[in-house]
């Protein structure tokens, strides 16, 4: 049994139930997964390519997610009765830059028939590490120009948070980090599409994908 959570301003699509039914099986089979979501913080139309590609992330998703029964029973007693809304700045620019351009899925996908075993931790870590290793390393001093000219995937390594924020601002993806983890990151890697199917990898120097090579 699983439980779905969503903010009250999320618009649900026809395939919502099929998608999360498929995700429920993953949650039950892989104890390293805490939650499943259909949200991608870097899902703006210029950064996505394939509606059927799913990612693992160490950054907890916003807007909506699903927990299985065991995780819910662990967390429910610790959750506050009300969310503390703090004073903040106007969100108009934030919405225009990051949320309004999010590409909504426009394809019907039979998620329950898909082989999603690539998302199991050992499989996903191995495939992700291989993709990062095979990507062309690019200097952070001219990453945008080189990435635009290279045909294949590109890897840009960074050491400090300020370097990541510069990279994110240069390409236009989310700059925010929480507890040192960028949005959508997995093992220190943020990946998004660029000019179609090309992958751009922002790779932390602490990532095991490059630290252990």
Per-residue confidence band for 14, with pLDDT thresholds at 50, 70 and 90: low
Q: Residue 14: which residues within 8 A CB-CB, separation 6 or more? A: 108
Pairing outcome for strands 64-68 and 189-194: unpaired
User: Rounded to whole angstroms, how far apart are CA atoms 104 and 11?
Assistant: 10
Q: Average pLDDT, whole number, for the chain?
A: 87
| Measured CA angle at 66 (ends 62, 72), to 5 deg | 110
Q: Is the pTM above the cut of 0.75?
A: yes
Hey, which CATH number is domain 2-79+118-211, 3.40.1710.10, 3.10.180.20, 1.10.3720.10, 1.10.287.3510? Answer: 3.10.180.20
Query: Which phi-psi region, left, alpha or beta, contains residue 182 (left: φ > 0; alpha: ψ -120 to 50)?
Result: beta
pLDDT of 143 reads 78
Q: What is the pLDDT of residues 39-74, one digit of tens each?
A: 999 999 999 999 899 999 999 887 788 999 888 899
pLDDT at 144 over 60: yes
Mean pLDDT along residues 115-130: 97
Given a contact cutoff of 8 angstroms between Cβ atoms, the answer to whether 18 and 112 are in contact is yes
Select from 159, 166, 165 the least CA-distant residue to 141: 166
Query: Which phi-psi region, left, alpha or beta, contains residue 134 (left: φ > 0; alpha: ψ -120 to 50)?
Result: alpha
pLDDT at 85 over 60: no
Per-residue confidence band for 212, with pLDDT thresholds at 50, 70 and 90: low
> 3-class DSSP state for residue 89?
coil
Query: What is the rounded (10 degree) CA torsion for 143, 207, 30, 5?
Result: -60
CA torsion through residues 13, 128, 168, 152, sign: negative
Per-residue confidence band for 13, with pLDDT thresholds at 50, 70 and 90: low
pLDDT at 142 over 80: no
Query: Which phi-psi region, left, alpha or beta, contains residue 188 (left: φ > 0; alpha: ψ -120 to 50)?
Result: left
Q: What is the pLDDT of residues 18-36, one digit of tens each?
A: 899 999 999 999 999 999 9
pLDDT of 213 reads 59
Per-residue confidence band for 99, with pLDDT thresholds at 50, 70 and 90: confident
């Amino acid at each position: 049994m699983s439980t779905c959570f969503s903010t009250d301003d999320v618009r649900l699509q026809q395939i919502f139930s099929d998608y999360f039914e498929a995700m429920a099986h993953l949650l039950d089979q892989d104890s390293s997964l805490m939650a499943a979501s259909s949200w991608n913080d870097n899902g703006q139309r210029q950064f996505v390519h394939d509606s059927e590609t799913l990612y693992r992330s160490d950054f907890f998703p916003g807007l909506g997610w699903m927990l299985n029964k065991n995780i819910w029973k662990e967390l429910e007693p610790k959750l506050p009765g009300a969310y503390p809304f703090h004073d903040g700045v106007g969100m108009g620019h934030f919405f225009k830059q990051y949320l309004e351009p999010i590409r909504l899925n426009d394809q019907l996908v039979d998620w329950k028939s898909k082989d999603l075993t690539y998302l199991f931790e050992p499989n996903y870590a191995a495939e992700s590490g291989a993709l990062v290793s095979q990507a062309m390393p690019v200097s952070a001093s001219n990453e945008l120009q080189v990435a635009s000219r290279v045909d294949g995937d590109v890897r840009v390594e960074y050491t400090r948070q300020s370097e990541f924020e510069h990279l994110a601002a240069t390409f236009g993806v989310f700059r925010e980090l929480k507890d040192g983890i960028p949005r959508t990151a997995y093992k220190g890697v943020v990946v998004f599409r660029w000019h179609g199917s090309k992958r751009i990898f922002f790779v932390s120097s602490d990532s095991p994908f490059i630290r252990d090579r």
